[in-house]
Amino acid sequence: MLPLADAPPLLVLGREVPMGSGYADLLGVETSGRPVIIEIKLAQNNEARRAVVRQILAYAASLHGTTREQLEDRFGTDLRRRGYETLVVAVRSVQEEALDAEEFTTSLDEHLREGRFRLVFRTRQRACGVDDTGRLPGTRHRQVDDRPHRR
């Protein structure tokens, strides 16, 4: 599992996203086009951590083969509610430099088709989650504000 530090900026698409037989805590996409599945659990014993690994791998298996169009259909209403017409426009909002739309969509298509995802799980000693700014405590990544943006 890769830590979130030193990764490309991340747009969180949804929280508690239905995937396979469960719900992923967070589903996002990096500005590089790589999908990200994040699970946050309380630290328990080694068996509980192994169960989380199995769970996140099952979520990845359910996402594998999804098309970009299916992903956009699934989250398009929420993105528009936040003030973004398309996934590309939303991802541009978290990228400091210019985002090449064609390069992003091609990369996202390849990652989804080939099943190349960033899988992240964090264990905590106490309950936590995404804070009010959409950040995971101790990370540099953020979610696009849920409020509609004025242009």
Three-state SS annotation for 78-138: HHHHCCCCCHHHHHHCCCCCCCCHHHHHHHHHHHHHHCCCEEEEEEECCCCCCCCCCCCCC
Q: What is the pLDDT of residue 49?
A: 77
Residue given tokens 């696009």 in the structure block: 144
Residue given tokens 């999908």 in the structure block: 35
Q: What is the pLDDT of residue 53?
A: 87
- Burial degree of 131 (CB within 10 A; 0-12, 13-18, 19+): exposed
Q: What is the pLDDT of residue 79?
A: 92
Query: Encoding tokens for residue 126?
Result: 């106490």
Of the candidates 67, 60, 56, 78, the one whose C-alpha atom is nearest the C-alpha of residue 12 is: 78
pLDDT tens digit at each of 151 positions of the chain:
233 566 788 899 999 999 988 999 999 999 999 999 999 887 667 777 788 889 999 999 999 999 999 999 999 999 999 999 999 999 999 887 889 999 999 999 999 999 999 999 887 665 555 544 445 554 444 444 443 433 3
